[in-house]
Structure 1
Amino acid sequence: REHPHSLDAERAVLGSVLIDNTLLATVTQYLKPAHFYDAGHRSILEAMRRLEAEGSSIDPTTLCEALRREGKLDLTGGPSYIALLESAVLSTSNVAAHARIVLDKALKRELIKAADAIARSSYEEEADAEGLLARAQQDIYNIQEAHIAEAVRPIDETVREVLDLLEERRHHSHIYTGLSSGYSDLDDLTSGFQKSDLIILAGRTSMGKTAFALCIASHVAVRQRKPVLFFSLEMSRHQLAQRLIAMIARKDLRKIRAPRDLSAQELDDITEAGRLLGSSPLLIDDTPGIDIADIRARARHHKARNSDLALVVVDYLQLITCAETAGRRSDSRQVEVARISGALKGLARDLNVPLIALAQLSRQVEQRRGKDKSPILSDLRESGAIEQDSDLVIFVHRPDFYTRTSDDADKPETDYSKAQILVRKHRNGRVGEVDLLFHGPTTSFVQEIKH
């Protein structure tokens, strides 16, 4: 009988990596080249791993060249077969399931091999039954041991990494373990935004969620020159660019939108701000009503092209759609939001970058009695899963907003007003409050100068 294998699953795994290079990390969590039944497929995975180690992209051209250098291109079926791998994949979303199928078949082949060897030895007259039993147990144990997930690491590796970081921070007191937000008081509280963390940035309408997210994105992309991917489901990229230029140039946003009254100096300042922003590694995707699967695919694509991607921002969570629940009457909006927040947390872990997801708070904040309208965790709209999935929950709160009269509502905000950044959940640290100032004309948040 033919040994267990699935060539379709093997092709799906390799084709998925050609489409999305970041999936190689997922594949290699499960598989080694030896797990593939087809010799050509084993050679292809080996070549993919070499290309990744060299820092090269993995596409049909680079893969064929790598195989040609090794003298294994003909073994794989040549360029036409490599191209077929990519075109045959309908969706990369099931790559982990396909990898598990390949692994399952490989384990069965190893068990068959071990069992055959024991069976042959059992026919030998001089063989000792107890010795054969011990050998069978050892062979099974060796198969198990060889397939323990590579995610398991001895504690000494982790301890060394932690102590090295501790020593570095001891000598450099302002080094944070995570990505700086641009606000030192907030960074002191959070130690920076950590890789793989899902950070929920929430607030009521007009509190400045997008403005605060843009301030952070600007600090990372423009000041630190680190790539940032910003998904904007509510505002167009032109609106975001106008806001960012106003922040950087420190000019009234209304003048940028209606520039007739700009002085020559103001125009020069705005042009220079545009130059700084334009040369930054900020990426904006303003597709409205985007599906969570598309966000995941596009983020992975950009991670593959920008391996040093530092931050992903999604504005905002409740505007994301979920194709998995579309059309299912039995699935409530709470279930849909729960799936979306879970997917965002998974994406943060896959990309190994902090992911900031903006979220809308419920109206019960305004309906709360008394003057204190500070938001609390239960104000997160539509799903308790948002709180559960998040590593950090930050509320943007401006107390003065609630003291404005109806006559003030239609007037543009001027000068500075008090703002509070409320860290209400911190999975690995302290919670607390940070006082900032909100500058209405430039829609930006600044840190108060301490005397």
Structure 2
Amino acid sequence: MSTAVVPFRQDQRPEAEAPPHNAEVEQALLGALMVWPGALEKVAARLEPEHFFFADHQEIFSVIVRLAAAGTIPSAPAVKGYLPKAEIGGQPAMAYLAHLGTSAGVSANVPGYAAIVMDFAQRRRLVAIGEELALRARHDPIDENGMVGASLIDDAETQMLAVRSEAPDAHLAGMTAGEGAEWMLSRIEELRSGTILSNAISTGVPDLDRATSGGFQRGQLYLMAGRPGMGKTVVMTSLSRYAAREAGVLVFQLEVTRDQQFARYLADLSYVHNRPLTFGQIMKGVDLSDDDVWRLENAQKRLSQLHLRVECEPSISLAQLTYKVKAEKKRLAAKGVRLGVVFIDYLKYIKVSDRYAGQRVLEIGQIAGELKQLAKREDICVVLLAQLNRGVEAKERQDRRPTVADLRDSGELEEAADCVLLLYRDAFYLQKKLRSKEDPEIAAKLFEKQNSLEIILGKNRSGPECTLDLWCDVASSTIAQHARGAA
């Protein structure tokens, strides 16, 4: 006659008040891992000892993993020899392990058991976060920065998103080499037949699409960088509205105000080559003719047809940014639209936790790493705007065209990015020269280069590293492959 097995709890609270857990599933999972050879391979990549509620179960799982890593079958007798205690739940350890073996289900149940164990671990973390938040909301004093409410929300969001990031996602699931190759060939066949469409979202610029194998690639981080005056926001304006023709686009405009950004969109969409409406004219407003207003109204109608949303904030935390991305993804999905590209203008205004306070290099590394993971987790392309360092404009430097070595503050930006787009406008420097010295030769060259924009692909995992010569009109916030008329 077997004795009921009741493992030690981690606390002495009544069952109704105990953190979420499922003792039977933990027992069945551990039993299956000891009984079925190869069962551990199905869960080893994701399951950790701390996912188990009971300390005894954490120890048993740790021994199972170590034995398997050493090439030894983790049978009950083998596991028993490495446990730190002779008894579990008031009975001999071997009797407890033998009972786990009788609790084991079939090997096919192992991934399901593991998913339940991890789900309850996630629930316990959420309970802990909620309890800590309630305690701090009641008792935290005012700090040197003022009220603590917003700080508490930021901390809670960061912790909640950390919990969410540990949940498995289908598109990140592992595969064997054979399974991966088979999946890839099947995907190629579906792409060729038109059953599925390419994951890339067109940039609206044919040369840039060709260089990046189709445009903005889902799951990747793009970095768009340049010195002040090179047109980062101008390029972002055109590329974001081009991309929004075929996929959902979310823009975090952290640098300029809402009216400035939408004036740029209207200038871009209402552009006519022989009589453009500049961003400045639209902002001023009062000197516009009836025809100008008609063009802006037409541009507004076209803008409203795009899958484009703009969030204008003075700054944003990584937690807030992630939350808004998820919310927009859900909103678009309800309309049958996939979120494709997220633009962030720009790096300087992203807030990070106090973990690396005062260490800007480490802060940027954290931002780059988390945005890269956001792109992979949410299956979107993230385009981060950044500034290059002052070395580009050093007097001894003859060629001011930037390289990835000119990225400001951290090499981790280059490391995390899948594609680095460096912006360069010769006209910017020619204008500076002309202001300091009237020279017909410089004036002629400025006239020639006035609408020239170079996009230098300093890093490109989807294609070649090259330089694209494009057309731009900075005053009208627009770029294109060639000089353009109406958009």
Which of residues 395, 404, 423 is equivalent to 2:457?
423
Q: In structure 2, the residue corresponding to 1:310 is in which secondary structure?
A: strand
In the alignment, is the contact (CA less than 8 A) between 2:49 and 2:59 conserved in 1? no
Q: In structure 1, the residue corresponding to 2:451 is in which secondary structure?
A: strand
| Structure 1: gaps of 5 or more residues | 12-31, 38-96, 120-131
Matched ranges for 1:168-247 at <5 A: 177-191=199-213, 192-221=215-244, 223-224=245-246, 226-247=247-268
Q: Which amino acid aligns with 2:349?
A: L
Q: In structure 2, the residue corresponding to 1:201 is in which secondary structure?
A: strand
1:248 lines up with 2:282 in the alignment? no
Q: TM-score, normalised by structure 2?
A: 0.61
Q: Which amino acid aligns with 1:313?
A: F
Q: 1:358-400: per-residue Cα shift (whole Å, max 9, x none)?
A: 0100010011635421101111001111111111111111122
Q: TM-score, normalised by structure 1?
A: 0.66
Q: Which amino acid aligns with 2:289?
A: S
Structure 2 residue aligned with 1:339: 366
Structure 2 residue aligned with 1:302: 328
Following superposition, the deviation at residue 405 of structure 1 comes to 3.0
1:153 lines up with 2:158 in the alignment? no
Distance of aligned partners of 1:140 and 1:235 in 2 relative to their CA distance in 1, 3 Å threshold: same
Q: In structure 1, the residue corresponding to 2:420 is in which secondary structure?
A: strand
Q: Which amino acid aligns with 2:284?
A: A
| Structure 2: gaps of 5 or more residues | 1-5, 12-16, 28-45, 62-74, 81-96, 116-167, 272-276, 437-445
Structure 1 residue aligned with 2:390: 363
For residues 436 and 390 of structure 1, the distance between their equivalents in structure 2, rounded to whole angstroms, comes to 23
Following superposition, the deviation at residue 98 of structure 1 comes to 12
RMSD: 4.2
Matched ranges for 1:89-100 at <5 A: none
Q: Which amino acid aligns with 1:429?
A: G
Structure 1 residue aligned with 2:164: none
Q: In structure 1, the residue corresponding to 2:316 is in which secondary structure?
A: coil
Q: 1:274-321: per-residue Cα shift (whole Å, max 9, x none)?
A: 122134321222121222222122222322333421111111112212
Identity %: 27
In the alignment, is the contact (CA less than 8 A) between 2:221 and 2:382 conserved in 1? yes
Distance of aligned partners of 1:166 and 1:98 in 2 relative to their CA distance in 1, 3 Å threshold: closer
Structure 2 residue aligned with 1:441: 475
For residues 56 and 456 of structure 2, the distance between their equivalents in structure 1, rounded to whole angstroms, comes to 51
Structure 1 residue aligned with 2:57: 108
For residues 8 and 209 of structure 1, the distance between their equivalents in structure 2, rounded to whole angstroms, comes to 54
Q: In structure 2, the residue corresponding to 1:313 is in which secondary structure?
A: strand
Q: In structure 1, the residue corresponding to 2:384 is in which secondary structure?
A: strand
For residues 284 and 385 of structure 1, the distance between their equivalents in structure 2, rounded to whole angstroms, comes to 27
For residues 288 and 464 of structure 2, the distance between their equivalents in structure 1, rounded to whole angstroms, comes to 45
Following superposition, the deviation at residue 417 of structure 1 comes to 1.6
1:319 lines up with 2:340 in the alignment? no
For residues 471 and 18 of structure 2, the distance between their equivalents in structure 1, rounded to whole angstroms, comes to 58
Structure 2 residue aligned with 1:28: none
- Point out the structure with max Rg over C-alpha: 2
Distance of aligned partners of 1:375 and 1:154 in 2 relative to their CA distance in 1, 3 Å threshold: same
Q: 1:79-107: per-residue Cα shift (whole Å, max 9, x none)?
A: xxxxxxxxxxxxxxxxxx99974456599
Q: 1:119-177: per-residue Cα shift (whole Å, max 9, x none)?
A: 9xxxxxxxxxxxx99x97xx7995996459882224444334433454466678xx865
Following superposition, the deviation at residue 252 of structure 1 comes to 2.0
Q: Which amino acid aligns with 1:261?
A: D
Q: In structure 2, the residue corresponding to 1:405 is in which secondary structure?
A: helix
For residues 254 and 371 of structure 1, the distance between their equivalents in structure 2, rounded to whole angstroms, comes to 33
1:265 lines up with 2:286 in the alignment? no
Q: Which amino acid aligns with 1:442?
A: S
Q: In structure 1, the residue corresponding to 2:230 is in which secondary structure?
A: coil
Q: In structure 2, the residue corresponding to 1:347 is in which secondary structure?
A: helix
Q: In structure 2, the residue corresponding to 1:421 is in which secondary structure?
A: strand
